[in-house]
Amino acid sequence: MTWDEYFAHIQGVCPWSNTAWNQNEIEIVKWQGTELPLGTLQARIYTVDLNRRRLKKLCKQLDVSEHDEWLWSEPTYGKYAAPQPILIQQHRKTLNDIRKRLKKHGL
């Protein structure tokens, strides 16, 4: 699965991601052991060489910032799984605003 296919596929659970991807507002980089500031990006995806247990543990360690929210995915993580193990860094406030709008509209 290509990244284009992945973002098109996950629209049901992350409706903004395909548009953000097509507008170059999502960056994909290899994890180098430290987070990078998001700046104007909607999200950054870090590809990682970790098994599921270590990926979840690292995500939990990173998800302590009031500014960024961290998520994870890997190929065996269900219907909307990423094509490879990844960490996802997003602006916490923006993501919460999107969730509130979707909930308000019953989505």
3-18 tens-digit pLDDT: 999 999 998 888 888 9
Q: What share of the chain is helix, strand, coil (3-state, %, to 5)?
A: 35, 20, 40
CA terminus-to-terminus distance, the chain: 26
- Residue 82 tokens, joined: 């990423």
Q: What is the pTM of this model?
A: 0.86
DSSP E strand boundaries for the chain: 26-30, 43-47, 68-73, 86-91
47-68 tens-digit pLDDT: 999 999 999 999 999 989 888 9
Domain boundaries along the sequence of the chain: 3-104
